[in-house]
Structure 1
Amino acid sequence: MSSPTPSSETSPATATWPWLFSAPIDLAAFAGSALVSLLLLAWGASSGWLNADVPEWSWVTCILLIDVAHVYATGFRVYFDRQELQRRPWLYYGVPVVSYVLGLALYSEGELLFWRVLAYLAVFHFVRQQYGWVALYRAKAGEVGRAGRWIDNATIYAATLYPLIYWHAHLPRRFSWFVSHDFHVIPLVCEAVCWPLYCVALTLYAGKAMFQWVGGNPNPGKDLVVTTTAVCWYVGIVAFDSDYAFTVTNVIIHGVPYMVLVYWYWSRRVSDAADRGSTRWRGLVFFVATIWVLAYIEELIWHRAIWHDKEWLFGAGIGIEPIAQMLIVPMLATPQLTHYILDGFIWKRRSNPRFRL
């Protein structure tokens, strides 16, 4: 799969830079999502939402339409593609089965254990996704230097892991990943030790990036991913102790770029080059509508059967027996677990010959 042709509006300089999609799309996906996150944070601060429950509108936009919906975007990469399903059936059919069985086993041992394991799997997935973007940009630019790779990896891991270590060392917080107490407390000294390492990693990356810009071979997309990750993760987890701040800074920069990637891949799989212009918008509407409907159906079941919340959006809750709940909760978590696991396979270029940027 070849790279998208740069827009005619793209300057010659930016056209030669190693963008994953194109300059406008990369900037919209990464800079745009981060900018929206920070603007929503500023709006929330001025509106008094930082010390209050997450407003319903932000739950709908960030959690339902981005966080839950981006999980179902994986369907367009795998489950709605017959050729892809036939290529690795054991993986694609086996992972949901294993995910459900694992979830069932964990939930039968205790609700907190179930949510704790799910939370740490989610954390691993979120961290690795940011690492994955950096790796894609390195590959796109043909960067093979060992020192540069070490600095890149150390920085993206520092940008994500330090805020998480801070979170663990300063429990309890006003927000949680899934449910209260799903993270273990660690000693404060862990955060104190990691802080200087965090600063060193960011400083080294900044110096390397400046050297590349001065030398005329910058990688602006990679710089953008590292910068927005460092800013949003620090602001949303360390600088503020707020459920609203964490939601708007964490979810948007994770879900939006992923949906862009899946749509970009899927639209080029189903559209002939000559027809792309005429089908682009119809395909986008179909893509977004599908993942939003699936996300709504999942949350409808969660809220009516399990959480008994948000009646204004999902209707009144229904009572179910404990045995039914033990079966339903792992089932509802299966798409999420499947997404976490498959994401480690479906974007590796060596084992996915159709995936080319």
Structure 2
Amino acid sequence: MKQPWIHNAKTDWWFILSPPFLVLLIIFVFQKQIQGLENHYSFYTWLFLIVFVDVAHVYSTLFKTYFVKAEVQRRKLLYLGMPVISWCLGIALFQFGALTFWSVLALIAVFHFIRQQYGFMRIYARFEPDNWSKKIDEVAIYTATVFPMLYWFKTPRAFTWFVNNEFDWLKNLPDYIGVITVLYILIVTVWIIKTIVEIIKTKTVNIPKTALITGTYLSWYFGIIYY
């Protein structure tokens, strides 16, 4: 089958598909050293990994939007109106308290990361027919991301998104860890079996899609739950 790369195999592997596996390998090998860096140099690790790496992709969109005059003219209402609307909603939200404001922003950030993985999965499945197999992939990618976050909400956390106690209100919910763990294991099992059966039956495999879903399961589970 023709592999549905976004750019090409080499670029996709280095910048999209391999990072979860490479980072996990580094964590496995250098866990104690990394923990020491985090404990003693938390500001600098935050500055480099979050501001310079993670947040940088947000800043870089300026070069394809606001810094392109023709693009701004084409979607003037969107580019000028959305910041104003967001600012007004932020002010309104803050009236309910600072913790409410930051809690909602943290949930939006979580939603962004979940949809980001779903979006990549859909891109890599764009040549596939809309059938039960694709539905299982969709459920699988959401399970790979939503379950670790639901687990994280109900357990002690080693870090915060924006402010302390931002998700503490979720602790008042009934204990659902046991139920979602069973569902998680069931869905992972179904997806693995489905993927193996498809490979045997068609003698082909969608490499980037399979690698993306696998990398998402591993990185979110070990990064959020195991560690």
* TM-score scaled by length of structure 2: 0.88
Pair 97,79 (structure 1): closer, same or farther in 2 beyond 3 Å: same
For residues 248-294 of structure 1, give each alpha carbon's deviation from its aligned partner in whole angstroms, at most 9, with x where no partner exists: xxxxxxxxxxxxxxxxxxxxxxxxxxxxxxxxxxxxxxxxxxxxxxx
Q: 1:222, 1:186 → 2: CA distance?
A: 37
Q: 1:38 to 1:47 in 2, by over 3 A?
A: same
In the alignment, which residue of structure 1 is the partner of 2:33? 47
Alignment CA distance shift 1:42-1:239 (3 Å): same
* C-alpha distance in 2 between matches for 1:64 and 1:127: 20
The secondary structure found in structure 2 opposite 1:49 is helix
CA distance in 1, matches of 2:226, 2:114: 19
Residue equivalent to 1:32: 18
Where does residue 120 of structure 1 map in the other structure? 107
State the superposition RMSD in angstroms: 2.2
| Residue in structure 1 matching 2:151, options 166, 182, 204 | 166
- Secondary structure at the counterpart of residue 18 of structure 2: helix
Corresponding residue for 2:162?
Answer: 178
Once residues 58 and 43 of structure 1 are traced to their aligned partners in structure 2, the CA distance between those partners, rounded to angstroms, is 18
Q: How does 1:317-332 map to 2 (within 5 A)?
A: none
CA shift, 1:41, in A, is 2.2
TM-superposed deviation, 1:76? 2.7
TM-score (norm 1): 0.58
Q: Residue 216 of structure 1 corresponds to which residue in structure 2?
A: 203
Q: Report the Cα distance in structure 2 between the residues aligned to 1:58 and 1:44, rounded to whole angstroms.
A: 15
SS in 1 for 2:160: coil
- Specify the code of the residue in structure 1 equivalent to 2:70: Q
SS at 2:191 equivalent: helix
2:216 to 226, 229, 232: 229
Q: 1:67 to 1:117 in 2, by over 3 A?
A: same
**CA distance in 2 between partners of 1:221 and 1:176 (Å):** 31
Q: How many residues align?
A: 223
Pairwise CA distance, 1:77:
3.2
Query: What secondary structure sits across from 1:20 in the alignment?
Result: coil
Answer yes or no: is the 8 Å Cα contact 2:148–2:220 preserved in 1: yes
Matches within 5 A, 1:1-40: 16-40=2-26
Q: Contact conserved, 1:30 with 1:224, CA < 8 A, in 2? A: no
Structure-2 separation of matches of 1:43 and 1:97: 47
User: Does the CA contact (< 8 Å) of 2:117 and 2:141 recur in 1?
Assistant: yes
2:67 counterpart of 1:83: no
Change (3 A) 1:53 1:232: farther
**What's the offset of the Cα at 1:54?**
5.4
Residues 27, 34 of structure 2: 8 Å contact kept: no
* Aligned-residue offset at 1:57: 4.0
Cα displacement string for residues 30-72 of structure 1 (whole angstroms, at most 9, x for unaligned residues) = 3332134224423552226168355444223211111221111
Distance 2:113 2:103 in 1: 15
TM-aligned CA distance change 1:48 to 1:219, over 3 Å: closer
User: 1:133 and 2:117 equivalent?
Assistant: no
C-alpha distance in 1 between matches for 2:87 and 2:25: 38
Gapped runs of 5+ residues in structure 1? 1-12, 241-357
* CA distance in structure 1 between the partners assigned to 2:151 and 2:113 by the alignment: 16
Report the AA paired with residue 182 of structure 1. E
Deviation track 1:104-142 (CA, whole Å, cap 9, x = no partner) reads 222343221111010011111111111101111111xx2
2:121–2:213 CA contact under 8 A, matched in 1: yes
Q: How far, CA to CA, are the matches of 1:222 and 1:93 in structure 2?
A: 36
| CA-CA distance at 1:81 after TM superposition | 2.5
**Unmatched 5+ stretches in structure 2:** none
How far the C-alpha of 1:222 sits from its partner, in A, is 0.8
Find the counterpart in structure 2 of residue 157 from structure 1.
142
Q: Stretches of 4+ moved more than 6 A in 1?
A: none
Aligned equivalents of 1:208, 1:54: Cα separation in 2: 44
Deviation at 1:92, TM superposition (A): 1.7
Inter-partner Cα distance in structure 2 for 1:222 and 1:19:
9
The residue that corresponds to 1:95 in the other structure is 82
